[in-house]
Amino acid sequence: MKCSALLLGCLLLLSVSPALAQQVTAIQAGAVLDVRTGRVDRDVVILVRDGLIEAMGKDVSVPLGSEVVDLSDQFVLPGLFDTHSHLLIQPDYASNNPILYKSVPYRAIEGVAAARDALMAGFTTVRDLDSEGADWADVALRDAINNGLVPGPRMQVATRSLSITGGYMNQNGLAPQIDVPQYGFLADSDDAIVAEIRREVKYGTDWIKLYATGTTRHINLEDMTPLPQFERDEIALVMQEAARFRIPVAAHAYGGPGAYNAVDLGARSIEHGMLLDDRTLDLMVQKGTFWVPTLSVYMGDDAPEDWSARTTAIVSAHRKTFARAVEKGVRIAYGTDVGAIPHGESARDFSYMVAYGMTPLQAIQSATVVSAELMGLDEIAGALQPGMAADIIAVEGNPLEDISLLGSVTFVMKDGVVYRQ
Ligand SMILES: [Zn+2]
């Protein structure tokens, strides 16, 4: 072996390796936010070893040989969560249909770039809520990140979504004789629902994504009711089959019976929900269902005065529902639908959440501890304390005074590795 030929080098390596494994990073933080209480501590040292926070406090002594990161003029907080991402979708999807014009391998490469953008923007964890026609590319991306092949956030994925023929996630506008792949899996029978959930589990899904209502074009503007997708007993079947594998269900649901049934039958989260009524919001509080509002993606790209009547009505309903949900104490996790908005811009919903009735601390909690709880990661990430993953970001200034600072992250560490400094 090489070792016998290079005995000296080998011995050196052997003596150095344990020290490398013990490599400690000491972050000198000017200010650190305790996201649970809102307390801000000044001049804190955070010791990071083996990807975890080992110790933190004012009086922590820095071991000899530690790598020191000077953030003494920065404000430090836990890495952020976006619990509604689409890393396999790009903002050009409307004009450049990815299913018709892009290969799945190409979309996976786009996903690699999107994952890097999310991480660099301080989003160290995402829940990617379906690949929208890129099949299992989200599983591949998650695994490649976990294996250290490419940089990216910690991911949970939903693979393909469940929808219905004639509803959302269909390829529309083509002649009936043209058979093309769809954005979601169109499950029109009990057998199809069961088989698809089992297939998704087999290929590595973390979540089942259910389209319990249609999309914006399906909203009846006269009474603002969304299209309910699936019968109540079909939604019950989705929950039952997912529960067999202990896999949670995220329901795209704007409101009406589709949303109510999803909450009542056990969805862990409701996505979008701009038309949720009081009965459903109250049931969410009672059952502990999370709401992921995705506020900004429903706004038009142009000035509000140029929005269509549909966009104006939806944004107005979203705002009112958000204020009611905050007042009632619904658990609101942070999610943006990024992919439909440019990758790396996940921070843009913070300002709307604060404008619509949250305090800056509540908005930060939404993107940290509450999101971590939604994803079952609250013992691993979402707060800075010994034993938790060293997912640490910094901004210049106090985001409790100016929430928009979260859009300009200056430092990103994930699992103890520095990606941005
Ligand atoms: Zn989405």
Q: Ligand 1 centre and the CA of 244: distance in Å? A: 25
Measured CA to CA in angstroms, residue 1 lies from 4, 14, 24, 182, 374 at distances of 6, 15, 32, 54, 50
Distance from Cα 86 to the centre of ligand 1, integer Å: 6
> 336 C-alpha to center of ligand 1: Å?
8
CA–CA distance, 212 with 262 (Å, rounded to integer): 7
With beta carbons less than 8 A apart as the criterion, state whether 164 and 141 touch.
no
CB contact at 8 A, 153 and 127: no
List the beta bridge partners of residue 52: 49, 389
Q: What is the pLDDT of residue 55?
A: 97
pTM: 0.93
Would you say residue 25 has pLDDT above 60?
yes
**Confidence at residue 418, expressed as pLDDT on a 0 to 100 scale:** 97
Question: How far apart are alpha carbons 421 and 409 in whole angstroms?
Answer: 9
pLDDT tens per residue, range 356-373: 999 999 999 999 999 999
How is domain 21-79+384-420 classified at the CATH fold level? Urease, subunit C; domain 1 (2.30.40)
- Does residue 4 surpass a pLDDT of 90? no
pLDDT of residue 22: 63
The pLDDT of residue 224: 87
CATH fold of the domain at 80-374: TIM Barrel (3.20.20)
Which of 203, 161, 153, 164 has the alpha carbon at shortest distance from 186?
A: 164
Q: Distance from the CA of 364 to the center of ligand 1, in angstroms?
A: 21
Q: Which residues contact 289 (CB under 8 A, 6 or more apart)?
A: 263, 267, 268, 269, 270, 283, 330, 331
CA 382 to centroid of ligand 1, rounded, Å: 22
Residues 6 or more apart in contact with residue 251 via CB below 8 angstroms: 210, 211, 212, 258, 259, 262, 263, 267, 269, 270, 271
Query: Cα of 372 to ligand 1 centre, how many Å?
Result: 19
| Residue ranges covered by each domain of the chain | 21-79+384-420, 80-374
Contact status, residue 49 vs residue 37, Cβ threshold 8 Å:
no
Mean pLDDT of 33-41: 98
pLDDT at 217 over 50: yes
Return the closest-CA partner of residue 184 out of 205, 209, 201: 209
Q: How far is the CA of 333 from the centre of ligand 1 (A)?
A: 14
Distance 156 CA to ligand 1 centre (A): 14
pLDDT tens-digit map of 112-166: 999 999 999 999 999 999 999 999 999 999 999 999 999 999 999 999 999 999 9
Could you tell me which residues are beta bridge partners of residue 49? 24, 52
pLDDT at site 300: 83
Ligand 1 centre to CA of 319 (Å) is 18
Tell me the CA distances in angstroms from 388 to 24, 26, 79, 274, one per residue in order.
Answer: 15, 15, 11, 34
Distance 83 CA to ligand 1 centre (A): 10
Please return the burial class of 95, using the count of CB atoms within 10 Å of its CB with bins 0-12, 13-18 and 19+: exposed
Distance from the alpha carbon of residue 85 to the mean position of ligand 1, in angstroms: 7
Q: Where would I find the beta strands (DSSP E) of 160-277?
A: 161-163, 185-186, 208-211, 249-255, 269-275
Q: How confident is the model at residue 221 (pLDDT cuts 50, 70, 90)?
A: confident
Average pLDDT estimate for 106-113: 98
How far apart are alpha carbons 86 and 99 in whole angstroms?
14
The alpha carbon of 129 and the centre of ligand 1 are apart by a number of angstroms equal to 6
**Which residues lie across from 81 on neighbouring strands?**
125
Q: Are 67 and 23 in contact (CB under 8 A)?
A: yes
Which of 154-158, 287-291, 303-307 shows the lowest mean pLDDT across its residues? 303-307
Q: How far is the CA of 171 from the centre of ligand 1 (A)?
A: 16
Q: Read off the tokens for 339.
A: 């992919």
Please say whether the beta carbons of 106 and 89 come within 8 A.
no
Phi, psi values for residue 196, rounded to 5°: -70, -40
Ligand 1 center to residue 416 CA distance, Å?
A: 30
